[in-house]
Amino acid sequence: MSFKKPISSLVLIYTEDFKVLLMERADKRAFWQSVTGSLEENETPIEAAAREVFEETGVNTNQYLLEDWHLSHVYEIYAHWRYRYAPDITHNTEHIFGLKLPSVIPIKLSEHEHVQYLWVDWKEAMDKVFSWTNVEAIKKLAEIHQLKL
């Protein structure tokens, strides 16, 4: 078995009017999140971000503005997902990116990863996501665009 690298990318996909794309996980119902995924061998965080966006949503990041927000977080990997990593790995480093779209677009979900998606106002998104790092990514969106929390 090959283990996942404990380095990942999270991509907050949002529109010009600050609607945020959220997807419900297939393996943990009611867990809403942004695009996220581990780096593959010899892949940079921004390359992983672009790949994961395409795999999870069908969106080609070359058509839009994918930005490195120069923000990362280290978090403890949830116990129910720890089997995916080498036995001594307990923490993951997640790099945060933003992908700005002009407006809401249809999304082609990866069915084995997500069961449905929503476009919600950025403030609602903060209440709906399950991970604190996703909340921090939304706060970064607010900071960059000078939105009031």
Q: Is residue 46 part of a domain?
A: yes
Sign of CA dihedral 73, 77, 83, 87: positive
28 is in an annotated binding site: no
What does the pLDDT average to over 65-69? 97
**Is residue 131 part of an annotated ligand binding site?**
yes
149 has pLDDT over 90: no
CATH code of the domain in which 52 resides: 3.90.79.10
SS3 145: coil
- Alpha carbon distances (Å) from 123 to 59, 76, 82, 145: 23, 25, 30, 13
Q: How confident is the model at residue 1 (pLDDT cuts 50, 70, 90)?
A: low
> Quick check: is 48 in a domain?
yes
Q: Rounded to an integer, what distance in angstroms lies between the CA atom of residue 38 and that of residue 48? A: 7
Helix-strand-coil split of the chain, %, nearest 5: 30, 35, 35
Asked, for residue 56, whether it belongs to a domain, the answer is: yes
pLDDT at 111: 87
For residue 40, say whether it is annotated as part of any ligand binding site.
no
Is 38 annotated as a binding-site member? no
Using the Cα atoms of residue 17, residue 68, residue 134 and residue 115 in order, give the sign of their dihedral.
Answer: positive
Is pLDDT of 18 > 90? Answer: yes
Q: Is residue 70 one of the residues assigned to a domain?
A: yes
Cβ atoms of 89 and 77 closer than 8 Å: yes
Please state the domain count of the chain. 1
**Does residue 121 form part of some domain?**
yes
| 19 annotated as a binding-site residue | no
The answer as to whether 12 is a domain residue is yes
148 is known to lie in a ligand binding site:
no
Q: What is the DSSP string of 23-66?
A: EEESSSTT-EE-EEEEPPTT--HHHHHHHHHHHHH---GGGSEE
Ligand-binding site membership of 52 (annotated): yes
Range of the domain at 139: 7-144
Q: Mind listing the pLDDT tens digit for each residue in 75-113?
A: 999 999 999 999 999 999 999 999 999 999 999 999 899
Whether the predicted pLDDT of 16 surpasses 70? yes
Residue 131 lies in a domain: yes
Tell me how long the chain is: 149
Specify if 1 maps to a domain. Answer: no
